[in-house]
Amino acid sequence: EPEVTQTPSHQVTQMGQEVILRCVPISNHLYFYWYRQILGQKVEFLVSFYNNEISEKSEIFDDQFSVERPDGSNFTLKIRSTKLEDSAMYFCASRLGGGSIGEKLFFGSGTQLSVL
């Protein structure tokens, strides 16, 4: 079964450093998402991306965050200057499009980001 792939599985960084989290969505999918989960808390929506542009973003997704689909297969989340509170599990998700959005939303296994 096709799957969403995320790398790395763990990322440790110093506060103030830039990080790039990488995702390879399912190949024929058209809609892409980033969510995050701080330990013990809910899974939070960050951003959705369609047709090479952001379609929706949350309040969390401020100027320090950006997303890119540089080559038609990868979908990246960049945090420009990490803060301690950015420590979380980051999930990439994708869907084909059309029909009920949730039924076709596939998640990756996540990248655990630890900011020291």
Partner 1 sequence: DQQVKQNSPSLSVQEGRISILNCDYTNSMFDYFLWYKKYPAEGPTFLISISSIKDKNEDGRFTVFLNKSAKHLSLHIVPSQPGDSAVYFCAASDRGRDDKIIFGKGTRLHILP
Q: What does the binding site for partner 1 look like in residue numbers (CB under 8 A)?
A: 4, 31, 33, 35, 40-45, 48, 50, 55-56, 58, 91, 93, 100-103, 105-110
For partner 1, which is the closer residue by CB, 15 or 101? 101
Least CB distance from residue 81 to partner 1, whole Å? 25
Tell me if 58 sits within 8 A of 46, measured CB to CB: yes
For partner 1, which is the closer residue by CB, 47 or 79? 47
Least CB distance from residue 109 to partner 1, whole Å? 5
At 97, the amino acid letter reads G
Tell me if 49 sits within 8 A of 113, measured CB to CB: no
- Distance (Å, rounded) from C-alpha 30 to C-alpha 108? 15
For partner 1, which is the closer residue by CB, 19 or 92? 92
- Distance (Å, rounded) from C-alpha 89 to C-alpha 79? 14
For partner 1, which is the closer residue by CB, 14 or 39? 39
Strand 111-115 and strand 31-37: pairing?
Answer: unpaired
3-class DSSP state of 35: strand
Least CB distance from residue 35 to partner 1, whole Å? 8
Least CB distance from residue 73 to partner 1, whole Å? 19
